[in-house]
Amino acid sequence: MEWKNIYRGMLMGASDVIPGVSGGTIAVLLGIYDRLIAAVNGVLSKDWKKQLGFLVPLAIGVGTAILLLSKLIEWLFEHFPGPTQFFFLGLIIGVLPYLFHKADAKHSFKMNHVILLVIGAILVGSMVFLNAGEVGVMTKLQPSDYILLFFSGFVASSAMILPGISGSFMLLILGVYPTVIGAVSNMHIDIIAVTGVGILVGIVVMSKIINYFLTNYRTGTFALIIGLVIGSIVVVFPGWPSTTNLLLLSIVAFGAGLFAAYILGKVEYKDEA
């Protein structure tokens, strides 16, 4: 068992609670994205024990973070949305040099890879123009609501596993985010179960697609992934703070994110330096 994955999973789980921040992005920042995709695809292979040794601690971390930190993240996002997003902004920007190094962009990127990078950035960056609107918590759920929750889980996890695209934001777009996050906070098992099954199916399907491209078009896929991460900067950016106190707090949070990225880079990418 790769028990170090528990803390990695906690970072991914905490980020997945926040609309606009992608768990896939955090996996890229941690340097485990391609390993994660390969592990999900290898669960039914002869190396299933090895893959579960990677995935189980990661899942424990994700689940622990979502259960224990959902209320904290909700509180931070409600009371300090700007500084919270500035922290993740610093984290994303700070780790970009490591991503370019991992992809060996200096030597392997050609014009077509640069184009893929730009396409990825535009694809995710354009999501800033999507309006989620205000949606309340579902009550007295009907069968059609459970179908919507399953579909939402499928779409969200498909997005979640792609760097730069936030699963939580997709839940907002689909109008079920308050219902799902409320269910997690208050342990409404039926909602958690239906949405969870949708999430699992989405992860399996999307991971197979991504694994194919990572295996057959690795450099191009990495170029697109880096573009997706760059595009997420636009989505995560909350706008300039309206008060001096918020500005100072946001600067500190941004600096903390940069520092966290530096530490992650030293720890997670030390073998590639």
Segment 149-207, tens digit of pLDDT:
999 999 888 777 777 677 777 787 777 887 887 888 788 899 999 999 999 899 888 88
- Predicted local confidence at residue 260, as pLDDT: 84
Portion of the chain with pLDDT greater than 90, in percent:
26
Number of domains in the chain: 1
Average pLDDT over residues 30-49: 87
* N-terminal to C-terminal alpha carbon distance within the chain: 25
Residue 190: the pLDDT is: 92
| Tens digit of each residue's pLDDT (9 = 90 or more) over 215-268 | 899 899 889 988 888 888 887 788 899 899 999 999 999 999 899 888 877 766
- Percent of the chain topping pLDDT 70: 91
Q: Measuring CA to CA, which residue among 22, 265, 38 is closest to residue 164? A: 22
Tell me what the mean pLDDT of segment 127-134 comes to: 62
pLDDT of 78 over the 80 cut: no
Domain hosting 95: range is: 5-272
Please state, in angstroms and as integers, the Cα–Cα distance from residue 270 to each residue in 35, 95, 225, 266, following that order: 16, 13, 21, 5
Give the residue-averaged pLDDT of 16-45.
81
Average pLDDT on 7-31 reads 79
**Cβ atoms of 193 and 141 closer than 8 Å:** no
DSSP string, the chain: --TTHHHHHHHHHHHHTSTT--HHHHHHHTT-HHHHHHHHHTTTSTTHHHHHHHHHHHHHHHHHHHHHHHHHHHHHHHH-HHHHHHHHHHHHHHHHHHHHHHTTHHHH--HHHHHHHHHHHHHHHGGGG----------S--HHHHHHHHHHHHHHHHHHTSTT--HHHHHHHHT-HHHHHHHHHHT-HHHHHHHHHHHHHHHHHHHHHHHHHHHHSHHHHHHHHHHHHHHHHHHH-----SSHHHHHHHHHHHHHHHHHHHHHHHHHSGGG-
Is residue 4 packed enough to be buried (19+ CB in 10 Å), middle (13-18) or exposed (0-12)? Answer: middle
What is the distance between the alpha carbons of residues 220 and 236, in angstroms, rounded to a whole number? 24
Please tell me which residue, 97 or 25, carries the higher pLDDT value: 97
Cα separation, 124 vs 229, whole angstroms: 8
Q: Is the pLDDT of residue 134 over 50?
A: no
Confidence of residue 272 (pLDDT cuts 50, 70, 90): low
